[in-house]
Amino acid sequence: MQRYFIDEKYEPKTTYKISGEPYHHITHVMRMKEGAQFYLVFSDQVVIQVEIIGIYSHEVHVKEIAKENQEKELSLAITVACGYPKGDKFEWIVQKATELGAAEFIGFPAKTSVVKWDEKKLAKKQQRLAKIAREAAEQSQRSVLPKVHLLSKQEDFLTLFSHYDYVLVAYEESAKQGETAELVHLLQTVQNNSRVLAIFGPEGGFLPEETTAFLQKQAVLCGLGPRILRAETAPLYLLSAVSYHLELLNK
Protein backbone atom coordinates (compact mmCIF):
# COMPACT_ATOMS: atom_id res chain seq x y z
CA MET A 1 0.00 0.00 0.00
CA GLN A 2 1.24 3.53 -0.84
CA ARG A 3 2.63 5.70 1.90
CA TYR A 4 2.91 9.48 2.06
CA PHE A 5 4.78 11.68 4.53
CA ILE A 6 3.09 14.94 5.46
CA ASP A 7 4.69 17.79 7.30
CA GLU A 8 2.32 18.15 10.24
CA LYS A 9 1.81 16.50 13.61
CA TYR A 10 -0.98 14.04 14.10
CA GLU A 11 -4.20 15.14 15.73
CA PRO A 12 -7.49 13.28 15.45
CA LYS A 13 -9.74 14.84 12.77
CA THR A 14 -12.74 13.66 10.81
CA THR A 15 -11.08 14.75 7.55
CA TYR A 16 -7.41 15.12 6.60
CA LYS A 17 -6.62 17.33 3.61
CA ILE A 18 -3.66 16.46 1.41
CA SER A 19 -2.16 18.89 -1.10
CA GLY A 20 1.15 19.54 -2.88
CA GLU A 21 3.44 16.73 -4.02
CA PRO A 22 1.50 13.86 -2.35
CA TYR A 23 -1.73 15.19 -3.94
CA HIS A 24 -0.04 15.07 -7.33
CA HIS A 25 1.26 11.55 -6.79
CA ILE A 26 -2.08 10.22 -5.48
CA THR A 27 -4.19 11.67 -8.28
CA HIS A 28 -1.88 11.82 -11.32
CA VAL A 29 0.72 9.08 -10.80
CA MET A 30 -1.27 6.45 -8.90
CA ARG A 31 -4.62 7.68 -10.30
CA MET A 32 -6.42 6.72 -7.12
CA LYS A 33 -10.17 7.15 -6.87
CA GLU A 34 -12.61 7.62 -3.99
CA GLY A 35 -12.45 4.60 -1.69
CA ALA A 36 -8.75 3.94 -2.37
CA GLN A 37 -6.60 3.47 0.73
CA PHE A 38 -3.05 4.38 1.68
CA TYR A 39 -0.91 5.26 4.69
CA LEU A 40 -0.36 8.78 5.93
CA VAL A 41 2.77 9.39 8.02
CA PHE A 42 2.83 12.46 10.27
CA SER A 43 5.95 14.30 11.37
CA ASP A 44 5.63 12.88 14.90
CA GLN A 45 5.82 9.33 13.46
CA VAL A 46 2.15 8.51 13.88
CA VAL A 47 1.03 6.42 10.91
CA ILE A 48 -2.61 6.00 9.96
CA GLN A 49 -4.33 4.04 7.24
CA VAL A 50 -6.75 6.31 5.38
CA GLU A 51 -9.42 6.11 2.72
CA ILE A 52 -10.15 8.75 0.08
CA ILE A 53 -13.54 10.43 0.60
CA GLY A 54 -13.17 13.22 -1.96
CA ILE A 55 -10.86 14.41 -4.71
CA TYR A 56 -10.82 18.14 -5.51
CA SER A 57 -8.79 20.35 -7.82
CA HIS A 58 -5.84 20.78 -5.41
CA GLU A 59 -6.70 18.55 -2.47
CA VAL A 60 -7.50 14.98 -1.62
CA HIS A 61 -9.71 14.48 1.43
CA VAL A 62 -9.31 11.30 3.44
CA LYS A 63 -10.65 9.75 6.63
CA GLU A 64 -8.78 7.64 9.16
CA ILE A 65 -9.48 3.90 8.99
CA ALA A 66 -6.93 2.50 11.43
CA LYS A 67 -3.57 3.13 13.05
CA GLU A 68 -0.54 1.23 11.81
CA ASN A 69 0.74 -0.70 14.77
CA GLN A 70 3.95 -2.42 13.65
CA GLU A 71 7.11 -0.67 14.83
CA LYS A 72 9.14 0.21 11.74
CA GLU A 73 11.92 2.23 13.32
CA LEU A 74 15.22 1.23 14.90
CA SER A 75 15.31 1.92 18.63
CA LEU A 76 18.48 3.98 18.00
CA ALA A 77 18.53 7.18 15.96
CA ILE A 78 21.51 6.65 13.67
CA THR A 79 22.90 9.59 11.76
CA VAL A 80 24.99 8.49 8.79
CA ALA A 81 27.73 11.07 8.15
CA CYS A 82 29.78 10.70 4.98
CA GLY A 83 32.85 12.49 3.74
CA TYR A 84 31.65 13.41 0.26
CA PRO A 85 32.23 10.40 -2.00
CA LYS A 86 32.60 10.52 -5.77
CA GLY A 87 29.87 10.68 -8.41
CA ASP A 88 26.40 9.56 -7.41
CA LYS A 89 27.49 7.33 -4.55
CA PHE A 90 26.02 9.57 -1.88
CA GLU A 91 22.67 9.28 -3.64
CA TRP A 92 22.58 5.60 -3.30
CA ILE A 93 23.94 5.64 0.24
CA VAL A 94 20.91 7.81 1.07
CA GLN A 95 18.54 5.47 -0.76
CA LYS A 96 19.84 2.24 0.74
CA ALA A 97 20.53 3.59 4.23
CA THR A 98 17.01 5.01 4.37
CA GLU A 99 15.64 1.55 3.60
CA LEU A 100 17.87 0.19 6.35
CA GLY A 101 16.61 2.63 8.97
CA ALA A 102 18.97 5.65 9.10
CA ALA A 103 17.47 8.60 11.00
CA GLU A 104 19.43 11.39 9.33
CA PHE A 105 22.26 12.10 6.88
CA ILE A 106 25.15 14.53 7.04
CA GLY A 107 27.59 15.15 4.21
CA PHE A 108 30.86 16.96 4.82
CA PRO A 109 34.07 17.58 2.86
CA ALA A 110 36.76 15.14 4.01
CA LYS A 111 40.40 15.91 3.19
CA THR A 112 40.50 13.20 0.51
CA SER A 113 37.06 14.03 -0.95
CA VAL A 114 37.54 14.57 -4.66
CA VAL A 115 34.32 16.49 -5.28
CA LYS A 116 34.27 20.20 -4.53
CA TRP A 117 30.75 21.54 -4.23
CA ASP A 118 29.99 25.24 -3.79
CA GLU A 119 26.95 26.49 -1.86
CA LYS A 120 24.76 26.53 -4.97
CA LYS A 121 25.69 22.99 -5.93
CA LEU A 122 25.21 21.85 -2.31
CA ALA A 123 21.70 23.32 -2.21
CA LYS A 124 20.77 21.51 -5.42
CA LYS A 125 22.33 18.27 -4.23
CA GLN A 126 20.51 18.55 -0.89
CA GLN A 127 17.16 18.83 -2.67
CA ARG A 128 17.90 15.80 -4.78
CA LEU A 129 19.03 13.72 -1.78
CA ALA A 130 15.96 14.77 0.24
CA LYS A 131 13.75 13.55 -2.62
CA ILE A 132 15.60 10.22 -2.73
CA ALA A 133 15.23 9.85 1.06
CA ARG A 134 11.50 10.57 0.83
CA GLU A 135 10.92 8.01 -1.92
CA ALA A 136 12.99 5.38 -0.11
CA ALA A 137 11.18 6.07 3.19
CA GLU A 138 7.80 5.66 1.49
CA GLN A 139 8.86 2.50 -0.31
CA SER A 140 10.45 0.85 2.75
CA GLN A 141 7.46 1.82 4.95
CA ARG A 142 9.35 4.01 7.39
CA SER A 143 7.59 6.22 9.92
CA VAL A 144 10.54 8.64 10.03
CA LEU A 145 11.54 10.74 7.04
CA PRO A 146 15.34 11.12 7.31
CA LYS A 147 16.65 14.67 6.93
CA VAL A 148 19.72 15.46 4.83
CA HIS A 149 22.26 18.12 5.85
CA LEU A 150 25.13 19.00 3.56
CA LEU A 151 27.98 20.98 5.08
CA SER A 152 30.57 23.04 3.27
CA LYS A 153 33.22 22.90 6.03
CA GLN A 154 34.63 20.05 8.09
CA GLU A 155 34.87 22.38 11.12
CA ASP A 156 31.09 22.78 11.07
CA PHE A 157 30.79 19.01 11.20
CA LEU A 158 32.99 18.75 14.30
CA THR A 159 30.79 21.19 16.22
CA LEU A 160 27.83 18.78 15.83
CA PHE A 161 29.41 15.92 17.78
CA SER A 162 28.07 17.19 21.09
CA HIS A 163 24.49 16.54 19.92
CA TYR A 164 25.07 12.79 19.96
CA ASP A 165 25.33 10.17 22.71
CA TYR A 166 27.85 8.08 20.74
CA VAL A 167 30.16 8.80 17.84
CA LEU A 168 31.55 5.88 15.81
CA VAL A 169 34.10 6.14 13.02
CA ALA A 170 34.17 3.23 10.56
CA TYR A 171 37.91 2.95 10.10
CA GLU A 172 39.63 0.76 7.55
CA GLU A 173 42.75 0.41 9.70
CA SER A 174 40.59 -0.86 12.56
CA ALA A 175 39.16 -3.50 10.24
CA LYS A 176 42.67 -4.49 9.15
CA GLN A 177 43.82 -4.76 12.75
CA GLY A 178 40.88 -7.02 13.55
CA GLU A 179 38.97 -4.60 15.80
CA THR A 180 35.69 -6.36 16.55
CA ALA A 181 34.56 -5.18 19.97
CA GLU A 182 33.37 -1.59 19.66
CA LEU A 183 30.14 -2.06 17.71
CA VAL A 184 29.16 -5.11 19.77
CA HIS A 185 29.87 -3.21 23.01
CA LEU A 186 27.74 -0.29 21.86
CA LEU A 187 24.81 -2.50 20.89
CA GLN A 188 24.98 -4.52 24.10
CA THR A 189 24.98 -1.47 26.35
CA VAL A 190 23.18 1.31 24.51
CA GLN A 191 19.89 2.68 25.83
CA ASN A 192 16.83 2.97 23.64
CA ASN A 193 16.45 6.20 21.70
CA SER A 194 20.13 7.10 22.01
CA ARG A 195 21.52 9.23 19.23
CA VAL A 196 24.45 7.70 17.37
CA LEU A 197 26.64 9.53 14.87
CA ALA A 198 28.31 7.04 12.52
CA ILE A 199 31.06 8.53 10.36
CA PHE A 200 32.26 7.08 7.05
CA GLY A 201 35.16 8.26 4.91
CA PRO A 202 35.24 8.88 1.17
CA GLU A 203 37.08 6.48 -1.19
CA GLY A 204 40.48 7.69 0.02
CA GLY A 205 39.58 7.23 3.69
CA PHE A 206 40.43 9.67 6.46
CA LEU A 207 43.85 11.21 7.04
CA PRO A 208 45.42 10.67 10.48
CA GLU A 209 44.79 14.33 11.35
CA GLU A 210 41.07 13.80 10.69
CA THR A 211 40.73 10.70 12.87
CA THR A 212 42.74 12.51 15.56
CA ALA A 213 40.24 15.38 15.48
CA PHE A 214 37.36 12.90 15.72
CA LEU A 215 39.01 11.06 18.63
CA GLN A 216 39.52 14.33 20.51
CA LYS A 217 35.74 14.75 20.31
CA GLN A 218 35.13 11.35 22.00
CA ALA A 219 34.68 9.37 18.79
CA VAL A 220 35.46 5.63 18.85
CA LEU A 221 37.16 3.84 15.94
CA CYS A 222 35.26 0.77 14.93
CA GLY A 223 35.88 -2.20 12.62
CA LEU A 224 33.14 -3.70 10.46
CA GLY A 225 34.55 -7.15 9.80
CA PRO A 226 37.77 -8.34 8.15
CA ARG A 227 36.96 -7.41 4.56
CA ILE A 228 37.68 -3.96 3.20
CA LEU A 229 34.35 -2.32 2.37
CA ARG A 230 33.90 0.49 -0.10
CA ALA A 231 32.83 3.92 1.09
CA GLU A 232 29.25 3.25 0.02
CA THR A 233 29.03 -0.28 1.47
CA ALA A 234 30.18 0.38 5.04
CA PRO A 235 27.09 2.38 6.12
CA LEU A 236 24.86 -0.45 4.91
CA TYR A 237 26.84 -2.99 6.94
CA LEU A 238 26.52 -0.87 10.07
CA LEU A 239 22.77 -0.32 9.75
CA SER A 240 22.13 -3.98 8.93
CA ALA A 241 24.19 -5.07 11.94
CA VAL A 242 22.28 -2.68 14.21
CA SER A 243 18.95 -3.96 12.88
CA TYR A 244 20.05 -7.57 13.27
CA HIS A 245 21.19 -7.07 16.86
CA LEU A 246 18.26 -4.96 18.07
CA GLU A 247 15.37 -6.15 15.90
CA LEU A 248 16.09 -9.85 15.35
CA LEU A 249 18.55 -11.08 17.96
CA ASN A 250 17.26 -9.11 20.97
CA LYS A 251 13.63 -9.19 19.98
User: In this structure, what are the phi and psi dihedrals at residue 49, rounded to the nearest 5 degrees?
Assistant: -90, 130
Instruction: Give the residue ranges of DSSP H helices in the chain.
Output: 20-24, 89-99, 119-139, 154-158, 172-176, 181-189, 208-216, 234-243
Selected range binding a copy of itself among 4-12, 14-22, 76-84, 140-148, rule: CB under 8 A: 140-148
Q: Residue 196 half-sphere exposure, CB side, CA atoms within 13 Å?
A: 27
Strand partners, 195: 77
Residue 129 CB, nearest approach to a copy of itself (Å)? 17
Smallest gap from Cβ 168 to a copy of itself, in A, equals: 13
Q: Should residue 29 be labelled a site residue for a copy of itself when binding is judged by CB under 8 A?
A: no
Instruction: Note the helical H segments in 10-113.
Output: 20-24, 89-99
Site for a copy of itself in 181-240 (CB under 8 A): 181, 183-184, 223-230, 233, 236-238, 240
Q: Per CB under 8 A, which region of 55-63, 70-78, 105-113, 206-214 contacts a copy of itself?
A: 70-78
With CB under 8 A as the contact rule, which of the stretches 32-40, 59-67, 93-101, 163-171 interacts with a copy of itself? Answer: 93-101
Smallest distance, Å, CB 145 to a copy of itself? 13
Is the distance from CB of 3 to CB of 138 less than 8 angstroms?
yes
Site for a copy of itself (CB under 8 A): which residue of 178, 207, 215, 216? 178
Helix, coil or strand: residue 168: strand
Strands 195-200, 77-83: pairing kind: parallel
| Residue with Cβ nearer a copy of itself (139 or 216) | 139
Looking at this protein, which amino acid is placed at residue 141? Answer: Q
Local structure of 220: helix, strand or coil: strand
Q: How far is the CB of 200 from a copy of itself (least distance, A)?
A: 14
Q: Which residues bind a copy of itself (CB under 8 A)?
A: 70-72, 96, 99-101, 139-142, 176, 178, 180-181, 183-184, 223-230, 233, 236-238, 240-241, 243-245, 247-249, 251
